[in-house]
Structure 1
Amino acid sequence: MEINHYEVLGFQLESIGVEGLTKLNSNEISKAYKSKALELHPDKRPNDPNAKSDFQQLKTSYDILMDVKLRKDFDAYLRSKYEEERRWQQWQQRRKMMHDPGEKEKEMDHQEKEMDMADFEAFKKGLERKMMADVEKKKDWLRHKFEEEKKRVLRRTHKFDEGEERRCKNMRAAHDLVIQEEKERKLRKMMNDIKKDEEKRRR
């Protein structure tokens, strides 16, 4: 009996395909193992004669998928097996078409639909590329406008700073002038007082 170690852990080949299985990371595998281990643990299946062997198989499958080399070998085997099955199905289909003209027409319709789908996918990809190019152009334009606005604001800020600095200098100069005038006034008053005292002494 062939064992699919991914399916032992609960992953379904039909759901995600061979490539999907082989792309599962270690965290996803560990999570699936823990969930399945809770389900298959022998303590939860005391009346099941296969409980122990099922749990052991689960552990074996988990160990294989967590080992890099063993998993690589198993993935290669799985891909080869899937490819063989796919070729066998194609051969069976061709053989059936040879004996049933109706099946041949169905196959041709199917191929036409696949071609239509391929054309649609090509158109969709082309449209997506064009949209992405338009988005990039819009981004470039916005970046350019942003840089221009930033430079303009910086220039205005620089001019404001220069004007503010001039105003501060003028205010400091005016303040210094007031202080100087006050000092001179006090000095003149003091000189006048001294002069008056001398005149009084002379009398």
Structure 2
Amino acid sequence: MDSDHYAILGLPSGEEGARLSDKDIAKAYRVKALELHPDKRPNDPNANIFFQKLKASYEILRDRKARREYDDVLRARRNRTTKRNCMNDGKREKMMSDLERAEKEEEKRRDEKEGEERICKKLWEEIAEFRAKHKRKQEEELASRNAKRRAAAATPPPPGWREENEDGPWKSLERFQAYEDLVLGNMIRAAERQKMAQRGTSGNGN
């Protein structure tokens, strides 16, 4: 049932149409009948079809029982439409909620990744700075050692001097350098672990 019999007679439909009196319906039919009568529209090949539809709609609406049944059908149709619209609204709201949640999660992952990258970059900068300081210290210590050896070579050794004393002053320096190497190695390994963890997080996200 696609035709709206009230609309065919030029009347409002729905609850407003259900409240119309029989006189209102008869009056609307007379007006439309004069407008759509085939004699008034000789050049319209569909004039007779439209007029027959008008008469059929009027016959339904003038019959009180048929009209009540028709009004019930219209009411059920409106209820279904309203329910369907409510369901569609609920689906749209859920879709928007899911979209917003996905955007927030993506933003959180992006912030976490950027934070990890900043930490990793800072750590590698600290390692580079530590390496540069370590290299400068080694160069300074080497230059100082060579200068002392040259000075010692130019000065005769004192009585009772033993050759193993030559390395005595440098044993503490060698221990310090070993400690620096250990610290530097730990920093490098920490940076590598941070880098591997970041790659693992990015792989899981994809």
Q: What TM-score bracket applies, with the shorter chain setting the length?
A: 0.3 to 0.5
In the superposition, the TM-score normalised over structure 1's length comes to 0.46
Larger RCO (CA under 8 A, 6+ residues apart): 2
In the superposition, the TM-score normalised over structure 2's length comes to 0.45
Say which one has the larger Rg. 2
Choose between structure 1 and 2: higher helix proportion. Answer: 1
